[in-house]
């Protein structure tokens, strides 16, 4: 009798387990299956990219300036002596605001990005408010390089920035390898930034250039997130000059 009872108990447990597995399998089969949605995936990627940008965006500490006690040449001189650089936030259809930023933080950011400081988007943190801005009109002392003032343009889609050029593939030009060089006419290209991932520099491809060649916009690698504002077909970046290689030997271009 005892053995029959144990066998019956084991059979009951097996039946219960099988019923549970059957119920789980039925539940899984009845669960609605959502087909992958491209739009949702794209939205997720855009949100992720925006979050990554915000996480890596450099920041500056600032405070509002008092118009009565912190505006004017003497007052601004006192601000600089106490470790602040005066400036203004403007643009985006909003009223101008007097601000001051921490000198040490500002100098650290300028040293970190000497070429792209004025085409980089910053978080300007002022108390409980954060402004997304691009630095403008940074004025330096002619002798000491001390920052005398800096303004900030509120960033939005289509904000105009000037991006410097950088030459690439110089080794792919026999003329440049033999001593020719680019006499630069224009240092920057004015573009509209469609998002805050603004390139620090624009690459100019010098592959195959020859003496007397004119370097135009067609040689600039322009990313899709910026729109060129200067569409003049005669826009010149530079001209190749210097040593010329000919079949009879070397000459001057």
Structure confidence by residue, pLDDT tens digits, 135-172 = 999 998 889 888 999 999 999 999 999 999 999 999 99
Q: Is residue 237 within 8 Å of residue 185, measured between CB atoms?
A: yes
Contact between residue 237 and residue 209 where contact means Cβ atoms under 8 Å apart:
no
> Chain-wide mean pLDDT for the chain?
81
pLDDT computed for residue 252 by the predictor = 46
What pLDDT, on the 0 to 100 scale, is given for residue 54? 56
In sequence order, which ranges of 84-235 are alpha helices (DSSP H)? 103-112, 174-177
Task: Collapse the DSSP code of 243 into the 3-class scheme (helix H, G, I; strand E, B; otherwise coil) and give the result.
Answer: strand
CA terminus-to-terminus distance, the chain: 113
Instruction: Give the model's pLDDT for residue 26.
Output: 41
| CB contact burial 193-218 (16+ within 10 A = b; e otherwise) | beebebbeebbbbbeebebebebebe
Residue 53 pLDDT more than 60? no
Helix H or strand E segment including 223: none
| Cβ–Cβ < 8 Å for 236, 215 | yes
The per-residue pLDDT for 11 is 53
The predicted-structure confidence for 196-232, as pLDDT tens digits, reads as follows 999 999 999 999 999 999 999 999 999 999 999 988 8
Distances (CA, A) of 200 to 116, 197, 222, 223: 5, 9, 12, 12
Tokens 């390139």 correspond to what residue? 199
70-91: pLDDT as tens digits:
888 889 999 999 999 999 999 9
What one-character DSSP code corresponds to residue 51?
A: H
- pLDDT for residue 14: 53
């Amino acid at each position: 009798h005892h053995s029959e009872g144990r066998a019956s108990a084991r059979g009951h447990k097996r039946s219960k387990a099988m019923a549970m597995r059957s119920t789980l399998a039925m539940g899984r089969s009845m669960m609605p299956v959502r087909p992958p949605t491209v739009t949702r995936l794209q939205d997720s990627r855009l949100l992720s990219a925006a979050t990554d940008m915000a996480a890596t965006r450099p920041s500056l500490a600032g405070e509002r300036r008092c118009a009565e006690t912190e505006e004017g040449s003497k007052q601004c001189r006192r601000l600089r002596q106490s470790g602040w650089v005066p400036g203004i936030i403007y643009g985006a259809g909003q009223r101008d605001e007097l601000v001051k930023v921490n000198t040490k933080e500002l100098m650290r950011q300028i040293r970190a990005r000497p070429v792209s400081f004025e085409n980089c988007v910053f978080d300007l943190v002022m108390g409980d408010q954060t402004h997304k801005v691009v630095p403008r009109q940074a004025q330096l002392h002619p002798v000491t390089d001390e920052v005398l003032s800096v303004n900030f343009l509120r960033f939005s889609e289509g904000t105009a920035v000037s991006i410097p050029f950088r030459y690439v593939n110089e080794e792919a030009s026999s003329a440049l390898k033999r001593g020719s060089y680019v006499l630069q006419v224009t240092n920057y290209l004015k573009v509209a930034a469609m998002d805050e991932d603004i390139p620090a520099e624009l690459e100019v491809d010098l592959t195959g250039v020859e003496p007397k060649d004119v370097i135009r916009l067609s040689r600039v690698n322009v990313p899709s997130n910026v729109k060129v504002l200067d569409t003049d077909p005669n826009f010149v970046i530079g001209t190749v000059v210097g040593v010329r290689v000919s079949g009879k030997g070397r000459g001057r271009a």
